[in-house]
Chains A and B, each alone.
Chain A
Amino acid sequence: MFEIKKHKILSPGISLYEVYAPRVANTAEPGQFVIVRIHEKGERIPLTICDYNREAGTVSIVVQAVGRSTFQMVKLEKGDNFLDFAGPLGQPSELIEESDEELKNKKILFIGGGVGAAPVYPQIKWLSDKGIKADMILGARSKEQLILKEDIKKTTNNLWLCTNDGSKGETGFVTDVMRRLKQSNEMNYDLIVVIGPMIMMKSVSELSLEYGIKTIASLNTLMVDGTGMCGACRVTVGNETKFTCVDGPEFNAHLVDFNEAMRRQMIFKTEEGKDLLKTQKETEEHNCSCQQA
């Protein structure tokens, strides 16, 4: 059992949990993920690590309600437990392999979309701890979904916000901000790291290829075990099949077959959709977490 030490509702249906998992906290690095489960009948859900504190033995994750298991998960509160919390899994971010000198000479732009802001955070924080402030574009559908913006603001140099509905920051997609920056000759980065919905990462990748900027994307594919056993997370990178769980989750975005990756995400959509409808019906009658927020 892994106890929830802190719980914060970031937005309706999106919760941040600080979980006591000393073994995971001890070896976690930016870019890695964990697999969590809340009860005996629940799914194994892969979630990118959002923060970790080796001294306190805690690891933070952000959960968005999208399927039956995650709907139940966002109802957890401080003092509740995750039944399973396994990790850290996957390869750490490439950045941690580089020397401080190399990093200081690098202009890095992070782009986060929706809950994708959460897994971006440990990377910018890791850099910020080294005295390196990167830039970031944070986008979401609406201002409610612009999560962690205060924490991110503290650890970045320039932070541009954008929302599809214009309720906060610039109106439009993250790619619109990229285009504006390009027009004003500010798009002079050596590296872009993008994390968010697959369709957003695809759009960013297409644009950054045009701009000639190396881009890393963190893929959120389907997974069961997360240790290389099932192959559900297969993705084509540069005409080679890779397993996101052990070879990734971060890949050179310009080599990723995003169309295939998006299609493969839909494999269980109908099955999950069924569950989702069932869960929504159940929660309509008693939905505390939403009202709180």
Chain B
Amino acid sequence: MDRFKKIDVKVLSPEVRKCNFEEVCLGYSEEEAVLEANRCLLCKKPACVQGCPVSIDIPGFIAKIKEGDLDKAGEIVFDSSTLPAICGRVCPQESQCEGKCVLNKKGDPVSIGKLERFIADYTNINNSLKIRKNPSKGLKVAVVGSGPSGLSCAGELAKAGYDVTIFEALHKPGGVLEYGIPEFRLPKDKVVKKEIQNLKNLGVKIETDVIIGRTITVDSLMKDEDFKAVYLASGAGLPKFMGIPGENLNGVFSANEVLTRANLMKAFRDDYDTPVFVGKKVIVVGGGNVAMDAARTALRFGAEVHVVYRRGLEELPARVEEVHHAQEEGVIFNVLCNPLEIIGSEDGWVKAVKCIRMELGEPDSSGRRRPQEIEDSEFIIEADSVIMSLGTSPNPIINKNTKGLQLNKWECIDAEDVSGKTSIEGVFAGGDAVTGAATVILAMGAGKNSAAAIDKYLTDKYLTK
């Protein structure tokens, strides 16, 4: 075999998958996983581990796959990560672990993400994960939000022996994993539910339908319910709109709305009550992962889907794999153009979008070339609906209703690097609520780091005498 060529992973064919919500990537078989693992050089100083925000011992678990000791491989992965079956599916590995792999110099990097997914699925399916946790420390910690950051923090603290309760505003735990990322990319029952169950097995309690800042405040959690520390991981759930004319027409939706209806409320299934509307022709505005998710979801509802993005194809912020899958499925990319106005019919429904062509000018402060309008290049695209996917910002409910909690100029929670300490003693924060919309794995990394800081804080304050 060619050491520099990766084992391709099986995927559902675009013709089949664009009509259903089944998972697109089928993952490695054991045989394929071993073959791929055998490509790994097991570097003495592994660069891949440095590229992983939760520092999984990558050569360690790959070596065990090579040896065929899959239980041990699973143990190593779960030692560093709370949600490996999820990360193996949604992490941008090309810019993290795989991006650092030495094999890049000669060919394909080791498919670390696919191997992680394989071993996590193996462990979850066979229930071979042994519960290893410290004896109870008798101290309560509250985690606000059950997205990737909250789950990872809760898992680490539970392992350390704390009595952890997660408070979730929605009716189902998982945060963006449940309401945002579609079934065809991240199966809910098979993967998300399973990894959350692993946390429950560690003793983590989850209370749904509790909106911190409304149902109960952070202050009250600490004073009335004896939580000694709180980790705020409420994410960035507030959708942005463009502020252009026609944005409140019927048929203009946030990507969050379409995805929540489809994922959390399962509008794609006839036996669920929640409706969704996308129409025959949809314009998705934006180029991130959420835009790709919205576009591919709309496509599965039977629409012709156009992604409108102001920069070029090269600049799309979405993961390469997502863009590639979207293209294969028939999503049309109208790049270097930007909406100016949404045009409505007489009865107030979306009829068309007026766009303008763009070109890339000089690089801006972020180093990306700034898109600028080309004069007199307006044109009209007809559409039945428009899905705005322009990013999200932190939800203000907690921030506004927590006395003494300092925010930064972007209205995100002001938290110390690494530890996540906030302006309130005993209150820590991490994930999108602090950074603004980012990735699952960065949020998880923050949760893990804060768990260590919370452990230290509580140990110093209550357990060292």
Q: Which residues from chain A sit less than 8 Å from chain B, CB to CB?
A: 23-24, 26-27, 37, 41-44, 67-69, 83-89, 224-225, 227-232, 234-236, 241, 246, 260, 263-264, 266-268, 271-272, 275
Contacts and interface: CB of A to CB of B under 8 A. Distances in A.
Interface string B215-231: 11000000000000000
Contact of A263 (B216, B247, B260, B348): B348
A230 B214 contact: no
Given A27-B215, A268-B275, A225 B397 contact: no
B171 A86 contact: yes
Counting chain B residues whose Cβ lies within 8 A of the other chain, the interface size class is 35 or more
Nearest to B215: A23
Contact of A89 (B211, B247, B256, B395): B211
A109 B208 CA distance: 38
Contacts of A43: 265, 273-274
A246 B273 contact: no
Contacts of B402: none
Nearest 5 CB-CB pairs, A to B?
A: A271-B275, A86-B209, A230-B257, A231-B254, A229-B237
Given A26-B216, A87-B211, A267-B250, 11 more contacts: A27-B216, A68-B273, A225-B260, A227-B169, A227-B237, A228-B395, A230-B254, A234-B241, A241-B241, A246-B397, A260-B248
Nearest to B250: A267
30 contacts: A26-B216, A41-B272, A43-B265, A44-B171, A84-B208, A86-B170, A86-B208, A86-B215, A89-B211, A89-B214, A224-B257, A224-B265, A225-B170, A227-B170, A227-B397, A228-B238, A229-B179, A229-B238, A229-B395, A230-B239, A230-B256, A230-B261, A231-B239, A232-B253, A232-B257, A241-B247, A246-B396, A267-B277, A272-B275, A275-B275
- The interface centre, meaning the residue of B169, B214, B248 with most chain A CB atoms within 10 A of its CB, is B214
A228 B271 CA distance: 26
Given A228-B395, A232-B257, A264 B248 contact: yes
A275 B397 CA distance: 33
Nearest to B400: A246
B266 interface: yes
A229 B239 contact: yes
Interface in B285-336: none
B277 to A, nearest CB: 6
A66 to B, nearest CB: 12
Contacts of A88: 214-215
Contacts of B347: 263
- The interface centre, meaning the residue of A87, A266, A267, A275 with most chain B CB atoms within 10 A of its CB, is A267
B174 interface: no
A270 to B, nearest CB: 8
B250 A86 contact: no
B237 A44 contact: no
B274 A228 contact: no
Contacts of B209: 84-86
A75 to B, nearest CB: 14
Contacts of A228: 237-238, 395-397
B203 interface: no
Given A44-B265, A236-B248, A264-B248, A229 B214 contact: no
Nearest to B180: A229
Interface of B: 169-171, 179, 208-211, 214-216, 237-239, 241, 247-248, 250-251, 253-254, 256-257, 260-261, 265-266, 271-277, 347-348, 395-397
- The interface centre, meaning the residue of A37, A224, A229 with most chain B CB atoms within 10 A of its CB, is A229
Contacts of A87: 211, 214-215
Given A23-B210, A89-B211, A231 B273 contact: no
B262 to A, nearest CB: 11
Contact of A84 (B171, B273, B275): B171
Nearest to B243: A241
B260 A229 contact: yes
Contacts of B277: 267-268, 271
B253 A231 contact: yes
Given A86-B210, A225-B170, A231 B271 contact: no
A236 B247 CA distance: 11
- The interface centre, meaning the residue of A67, A235, A268, A275 with most chain B CB atoms within 10 A of its CB, is A268
Contacts of B274: 43-44, 224
Contact of A83 (B171, B247, B257): B171
A86 B265 contact: no
A275 to B, nearest CB: 7
Contacts of A41: 266, 271-273
A267 B256 CA distance: 17
Nearest to A71: B273
- The interface centre, meaning the residue of A228, A232, A268, A275 with most chain B CB atoms within 10 A of its CB, is A228
Nearest to B171: A84
Contacts of B208: 84, 86
B221 to A, nearest CB: 11
A41 B274 CA distance: 8
Contacts of B251: 267
A91 to B, nearest CB: 10
Contacts of A225: 169-170, 179, 237, 260
A224 B260 contact: yes
B171 A263 contact: no
B162 to A, nearest CB: 22
Contacts of A26: 216
Nearest to B240: A231
B339 to A, nearest CB: 16
B256 A231 contact: yes
B395 A227 contact: yes
A263 B250 contact: yes
Contacts of A235: 248
Contacts of B237: 225, 227-229
Nearest to B348: A263
A231 B257 contact: yes
B261 A224 contact: yes
A87 B210 CA distance: 7
A89 B272 CA distance: 24
Contacts of A44: 171, 265, 274
- The interface centre, meaning the residue of A88, A231, A235 with most chain B CB atoms within 10 A of its CB, is A231
